[in-house]
Amino acid sequence: MLEEKWWERSVVYQIYPRSFCDSNGDGVGDINGIRSKLWYLKKLGVDVIWLSPIYPSPNADNGYDISDYRGVSPEYGTMEDMKRFIQECEDSDISIMMDLVVNHTSDEHPWFVEAKSSLNSPYRDYYIWRKGKAGQVPNDLQSDFGGSAWEYSEETGEYYLHFYHKKQPDLNWENENMRAEIWKMMNHWIDMEIKGFRMDVIDVIGKDPDKKIKENGPKLHAYLQEMNRETFGGKDMMTVGECWGADTKIGRAYSDPERKELDMIFQFEQMQADQIPGKQKWDLRPLDLVYLKHTFAKWQKELEGKGWNSLFWNSHDLPRIVSRWGNDKEYRVESAKMLATALHGMKGTPYIYQGEEIGMTNYPFSGIEDLVDVETLNAYQERKAQGFPEEEIMRSLCAKARDNARTPMQWDDSPEGGFTKGSPWYRVNPNYKEINAKRALEDKGSVFYHYQKLIALRKEEPLLVHGTFELLCPEDRHVFAYVREWKCKKWLIICNFYEGPTEFSYPGKGRTILSNYEQGEEVLLEHIQLRPYEAVICEVM
Ligand code: NOJ
C-alpha cells in the first residue's frame, strides 16, 4: 500500500470570505472576521480551510476575476492581516488552501490592460485574440455565463476569448512566459507557507478555441505536470482541481500519484442527479437517487487504488444541500445529518461549505430583484428571451442559483445573524433566528455536533480512510446503503433519502456507531424500519 497522505485523513472547510464574518462593520466579510472564528473551526475539527479568493478584484464575479495575484483586496484586509491569519492557522494546526484562478484574470489585471492596448504589447500573447469573420465573432463558442465567448476590443479591432464574464479574459497557456509568471506567483504563496491550492476550472486551461475545445484540451495534462514540477511537486501540499467535464478515466489521469499532477479533483457528475440529462442545470427533474448512487459508486470503484476522490455536496456555486436533496422544513435536522452521513461515510476527502454544518438552507427569493449573481442574472435574461414563463424561470433560479450559497453565515440571533454590525452586502436568510451557529453549539443534538462526530470518526478509524466501497441495493429508490471494509472490519452505512418510513435488510447484526435518531447499541439488520431521513453507521458483527 502507498504511504498515507495527510490530506487523505483530512476534512476541508470552504470559506467564502465575503459572506463569512465581517469584523469592521462595512457589510463585507474579511480576514479578521475569519481569524475571530478559528476557534469555531477548531471545535468542528476540520484540518484545512479552502479560502475562496481574497485577492484584489473588481468583483465582476465576486473575486474570481483577479487583478493582482499577489495582493489582498482592501475589502478583506491587509497583507499583514493575511500573514497573521496564516500564522494563527499554523498554530492551530489548520492548513490553508488558496484558490488559484489561472484560467483567466480580470480585464483590469495589468497584463490585460497592457495586452489590449497594442498588437505589439509583450503581454498581447498572454491572452487569446482572434480577428472577426466578416464583421462577426470568430466562431460560435459560448460563455458559461451566457452569450458569445468572444468580446470585441476597440483598441486593436480584435476579439478576445472569455469563457466566463467578459471581464474575465482567458489566459493563453500556450505562452511560456505567462506560465513562468504563474509558477513564480504560486511559489510566492508557497513561500508564505500556504499548504495547498484549489484550482478554479483547471480543466479549461488546455483549451483550443479554433477547434472549439474548451475542457480537456490536448496539452492540459502536460501543463499540470509542468506546474507540479515547477511549484508544489515534492512539497507535501494538497491540490484539488475543479473539473466540470471529467469522467472517471480523466479523474484517474489527474489524481494518479504516479503521473505527478494533482491530488484530487472536484467532479460534478453526481450533482446532475436533479437535472434533465443533456440539458442545463436550470432544467429541473426530481432527485434521481438511483443515478446518484450509481455515479458515486462508479467514482468510488474506478478510482480505488488509482486516484483519490473529493466528496462534497456544497460550495459557493451550488444550492444548499438540505434544501436540495433533504427537507428543509419538518426534517431539516434529520435530513441534514443524513446527507452528511451519506457523504462522509465514503472514501475520499470530504469538503464542508460554510453553514452546511449548521444546516443552512436556500433563501426564500420572491423575485428576480432578490438575486445578484452574474450567472443567475444572465440565465434569467437568456431564459426570458427564449420564452420561458416567469414562474418556471423563478422555480429554476430558486432551486439552483448560486446566490443561495452566498447569503451571509448565520452566527447568532442578533440583527443580520451576527454576520455584521453594519448593513450586509447581501441579504441574510430570514430564518437566522432559528438556524445559527450559537444555537447549534448549545444543542447537543444539532447538525453541528453530527458533523463534529463524523470528522472525529475519520481521524479515529482507518477503515473510513482506506476501506473499500461496495454499493448495496443499487436499484432501491429510497435507500443509499453501502459497505466499507478494511482489514476484516466491515461497516455498513444506511441512509434513507425518503421522507417516509422505508424498509431495509442485510444479514446479521450491527453495532451502532453513529445515527441521527435514537438508536439501540445493537441493530438487527435483517429487518430495519428506517424512519424519515434516518441514517445509521454500524459495524457488522
Ligand atoms: C468556478 C468558480 O467556482 C465560480 O464561482 C466562478 O464563477 C467560475 N469558476 C469562473 O471563475
What digits encode the pLDDT tens for the residues 410-447? 999 999 999 999 999 999 999 999 999 999 999 999 99
The DSSP symbol for 6 reads G
Spatial CA neighbour of 261 closest among 294, 219, 297: 219
Residues contacting 272, CB < 8 A, separation 6+: 281, 291
| Active-site annotation holder among 47, 65, 242, 263 | 242
Ligand 1 atom 5, closest CA: 317
Atom of ligand 1 nearest to the CA of 104: 11
Rounded distance from Cα 223 to ligand 1 centre (Å): 20
**Average pLDDT, stretch 70-86?**
98
Rounded distance from Cα 480 to ligand 1 centre (Å): 30
Report whether residue 101 contacts ligand 1, using a CB cutoff of 6 Å.
yes
Rounded distance from Cα 201 to ligand 1 centre (Å): 7
The whole-number pLDDT of residue 132 equals: 97
Identity of the amino acid at 215? E
Identify the burial level of 230 via C-beta atoms within 10 angstroms of its C-beta, where 0-12 means exposed, 13-18 middle and 19 or more buried: middle
Q: Is 242 a catalytic residue?
A: yes
Q: At residue 4, does pLDDT exceed 90?
A: no
**Average pLDDT, stretch 307-311?**
97
Atom of ligand 1 nearest to the CA of 164: 10
Q: What is the mean pLDDT of the chain?
A: 97
| Active-site annotation holder among 200, 215, 375, 534 | 200
Rounded distance from Cα 225 to ligand 1 centre (Å): 23
Of 15, 59, 98, 201, the residue with max ligand 1 atoms within 8 A of its CB, to mutate for a pocket test, comes to 201
Spatial CA neighbour of 267 closest among 310, 213, 307: 310
- Grid coordinates belonging to 532: 424519515
Dihedrals φ, ψ of 530, to 5°? -85, 135
| Three-state SS letters, 449-482 | HHHHHHHHHHHHCHHHHHCEEEEECCCCCCEEEE
The DSSP symbol for 508 reads S
What digits encode the pLDDT tens for the residues 463-506? 999 999 999 999 999 999 999 999 999 999 999 999 999 999 99
The whole-number pLDDT of residue 279 equals: 96
Given pLDDT bands bounded at 50, 70 and 90, which one contains residue 98?
Answer: very high
Q: At residue 212, does pLDDT exceed 80?
A: yes
The DSSP symbol for 50 reads E
CA 517, 518, 523: angle at the middle one, nearest 5? 100
Identity of the amino acid at 122? P
Measured distance CA(494)–CA(262) in Å, rounded: 32
Q: At residue 110, does pLDDT exceed 60?
A: yes
Q: Is 434 a catalytic residue?
A: no
**Average pLDDT, stretch 314-328?**
98
Q: At residue 278, does pLDDT exceed 60?
A: yes
- Are 21 and 411 contacting, i.e. CB atoms less than 8 angstroms apart? yes
Q: At residue 2, does pLDDT exceed 80?
A: no
What digits encode the pLDDT tens for the residues 149-202? 999 999 999 999 999 999 999 999 999 999 999 999 999 999 999 999 999 999
Report whether residue 403 contacts ligand 1, using a CB cutoff of 6 Å.
no
- Grid coordinates belonging to 473: 441495493
CA 372, 419, 342: angle at the middle one, nearest 5? 80
Residues contacting 14, CB < 8 A, separation 6+: 49, 50, 52, 314, 315, 316, 351, 352, 353, 354
pTM: 0.98
Measured distance CA(269)–CA(296) in Å, rounded: 9
Atom of ligand 1 nearest to the CA of 402: 5
Report whether residue 164 contacts ligand 1, using a CB cutoff of 6 Å.
yes
Rounded distance from Cα 366 to ligand 1 centre (Å): 25
Report whether residue 274 contacts ligand 1, using a CB cutoff of 6 Å.
no
Helical pair 248-255 and 289-303, crossing angle rounded to 10 deg: 40
Of 200, 376, 377, 404, the residue with max ligand 1 atoms within 8 A of its CB, to mutate for a pocket test, comes to 200
What digits encode the pLDDT tens for the residues 33-48? 999 999 999 999 999 9
Report whether residue 317 contacts ligand 1, using a CB cutoff of 6 Å.
yes
Ligand 1 atom 11, closest CA: 64
Report whether residue 201 contacts ligand 1, using a CB cutoff of 6 Å.
yes
Rounded distance from Cα 439 to ligand 1 centre (Å): 32
Rounded distance from Cα 64 to ligand 1 centre (Å): 6
Report whether residue 61 contacts ligand 1, using a CB cutoff of 6 Å.
yes
CA 173, 177, 179: angle at the middle one, nearest 5? 45
Identity of the amino acid at 48? V
Spatial CA neighbour of 382 closest among 159, 144, 160, 140: 144
Atom of ligand 1 nearest to the CA of 374: 7
What digits encode the pLDDT tens for the residues 356-401? 999 999 999 999 999 999 999 999 999 999 999 999 999 999 999 9
